[in-house]
Amino acid sequence: MGVSPPRDVPPPPAPAAVEAFSEDLTQRTFRYFWETTDTRMCLAPDRWPSRTFSSIAATGFALTAYGIGAERGYVTREEAAKRTRDCLKFYWDAPQGAAAKDITGYKGFFYHFLKYDDGTRHATTELSTVDTTLFLGGALFAQSYYDRDDPVEAEIRDLAERIYRRVEWDWALRGGTGTKARNYPESQGITMGWKPEDGWQPADWVGYNEGMLVYILALGSPTHPVGKAAWDKGWAARLDEDWGSYYGYEHLQFEPLFGHQYSHVWVDFRGIQVEFMRGKGIDYFENSRRATLSQRAYGIDNPNDWKEYSGDLWGWTASDGPKYSRDEYTVNGKLRTFFTYTARGVSSVRVVDDGTIVPTAAGGSIPFAPEVTIPALMAMRDRYGDRVYDKYGFKDAFNPSFTFTQADSRTGPVDPKLGWVAADHLGIDQGPILAMMENHRSGLVWRTMRKNPHIRRGLERIGFTGGWLDQPQQ
């Protein structure tokens, strides 16, 4: 079904300006991963320049970035291949086991955050199914991208295969653990995480969210697969409840845009459908397009009267923010509460919005609606300059409404006129900007992953058909 575009659409920038900006953003964001990721142990930073710990998900985006950089000529293919090989070798050799300390992973999964000094578990972080999945997205991209008859590239393919085959997805399936998921007690899906101290975490990947790729890889496994019931009675069990309309766009509701983006980084959902979406007459790509456009419509409407929101300044997803306290501050005559890191977003279910605008919200949605997402990013750069856009691309977030210099924000500088801006870049927010810009410009990641047999197998076992899945495998 059609939907009407929002009114007051700003004039589009000139094509030459769009291309120049796209290239500049691609190169800067690639440099973030190339220059900040540890080369000896392949530990991509969770955030930079703050040096806290490494994120296994950010490392998956780094592996994807290396191929993009090679394809664009920012580095040679040989340089990218060597670094990728060394990265995968580190994670294949890294210690796995049930111990609580001095371990990188268990049952093939990896801990969410890793220490910089040795690449083992940081603090009491969880063994994360979704963050492992995002790492595997990068590993399988590397497996299919480096396809030449070359010893280094052959080793990449072998290491990626061994790392993927080692993951025991069936171990992470709810059932037989003696517990029920708190978020959906009837779930037969995949759990979100595990800790050696107390076992499985209380929530499963159920309902529309970023966990779709978890199931694609779990069903596609040649060694430890889960059955289709995991999808049907796990992730897809309550999609009917998630369907709704927001600003005139009917789609599956999930307020932070990362839930509409992460799986799409590595899987081309254009034209392929599974039963639920077939019944709605759309695919998951169109669903994410509508979610993106509904967010922009919210920005144009600005029902909560935040500063600077418009058709060119919008976008909400998980990000840093200016402050967490019970203090309230007056913005446009209303008392407001602000937050630090949280899952911001807008949908018909809930609105989590404290005036913070997040560049990766638009950036991770570039292929879904390039006509509005790229102009939004260009407007952010033009409006705020090097406060938000530096040598590594966009800082994580900014808040034009938070002009309270006396508030002692510890997450970034505050200007009395322009507001707050994050001190850091976040790896899991940089990654979607780079990969999705490349998918828009050349289709590289999608085209590469269509060749990967594990991705195809997982999609087919779930029940996806149509589009490129109906074409012979190349």
pLDDT of residue 183: 84
Q: Which stretch of 171-180, 339-348, 384-393, 443-452 has the lowest confidence by average pLDDT?
A: 171-180
Q: Which of 436, 135, 419, 387 is nearest to 257 (CA)?
A: 436
Question: What CATH number should be reported for the domain whose range is 37-237+443-474?
Answer: 1.50.10.140
Residue 152 has pLDDT above 70, yes or no: yes
Q: CATH topology of 1-34+239-425 equal to that of 37-237+443-474?
A: yes
Q: What is the pTM of this model?
A: 0.96
What's the pLDDT score for residue 225?
A: 97
Neighbours of 397 (CB within 10 A): 30
Among left, alpha and beta (phi > 0; psi -120 to 50; other), residue 353 is beta
| pLDDT per residue as tens digits for the range 176-234 | 555 678 888 888 999 999 999 999 999 999 999 999 999 999 999 999 999 999 999 99
* CA 455 to chain centroid: 17
Q: Tell me whether residue 240 is exposed, middle or buried, using C-beta atoms within 10 angstroms of its C-beta: 0 to 12, 13 to 18, 19 or more.
A: exposed
324: amino acid identity, one letter: Y
Residue 5: predicted pLDDT = 45
pLDDT, average across residues 466-474: 88
368-406 pLDDT, tens digit each: 999 999 999 999 999 999 999 999 999 999 999 999 999
Per-domain boundaries in the chain? 1-34+239-425, 37-237+443-474
The number of angstroms, rounded, from the C-alpha of 94 to the middle of its chain's C-alpha atoms is 24
**Gap between the Cα atoms of 41 and 318, Å rounded:** 27
Q: Where are the alpha helices (DSSP H) in 354-452?
A: 359-363, 370-384, 427-441, 444-449
User: With 80 as the cut, is the pLDDT of residue 462 above it?
Assistant: yes
Q: Tell me, what's the pLDDT at 184? A: 82
Residue 317: which of 248, 238, 241, 373 has the closest Cα? 373
User: Stretch 1-27: mean pLDDT, rounded?
Assistant: 78
With a cut of 60, say whether residue 6 has pLDDT above it.
no
Cα distances from 173 to residues 25, 109, 186, 316, 392, in angstroms, run: 40, 13, 13, 31, 39
pLDDT, tens only, 410-434 = 999 999 999 999 999 999 999 999 9
Q: What is the greatest pairwise CA distance in the chain? A: 66
Task: Evaluate if residue 2 carries a pLDDT over 80.
Answer: no
Among candidates 20, 32, 107, which has minimal Cα distance to 65?
32
User: What is the dihedral sign for C-alpha 311, 313, 316, 317?
Assistant: positive
CATH topology of domain 1-34+239-425: Glycosyltransferase (1.50.10)
Beta bridge partners of 251: 244
Residue 12: what pLDDT?
85
Q: What is the DSSP string of 106-122?
A: ETTEEBSEE-TTTS-B-
| Model pLDDT for residues 260-283, shown as the tens digit of each residue | 999 999 999 999 999 999 999 999
Question: Residue 104: enclosing H or E segment and its boundaries?
Answer: none
Helix (H) or strand (E) holding 352: strand 351-352
Judge whether residue 175 has pLDDT over 90.
no
In single-letter form, the type of residue at position 316 comes to W
**Predicted local confidence at residue 176, as pLDDT:** 53
How confident is the model over 233-248, as a mean pLDDT?
96
Average pLDDT over residues 147-166: 98
Report how far residue 142's alpha carbon sits from residue 163's, in angstroms, rounded to the nearest whole number: 12
Q: Is the dihedral of CA 41, 46, 49, 50 positive or negative?
A: negative
Residue with tokens 């019944």: 279
The Cα 170–Cα 210 span in angstroms is: 19
Please check the confidence at residue 156 and state whether its pLDDT lies above 80: yes
Distance CA 109, CA 132 (A): 6
Task: Give bridge partners of residue 45 from the DSSP assignment.
Answer: 54
Q: What's the one-letter identity of residue 273?
A: Q
List, in order, residues 6 or more apart from 23 with CB less than 8 Å away.
Answer: none
- Digit-coded pLDDT (tens) for 330-343: 999 999 999 999 99
- Closest of 164, 112, 116 to residue 136, by C-alpha: 164
- Residue-level pLDDT at 178: 53
Average pLDDT score over residue span 101-109: 98
Pair of tokens at residue 469: 């899945």
Q: Does the pLDDT at position 474 exceed 80? A: no
| Helix residue spans in 37-121 (DSSP H) | 56-72, 77-93
Q: Terminus-to-terminus CA distance in the chain, angstroms?
A: 33
DSSP letter for 386, please: G
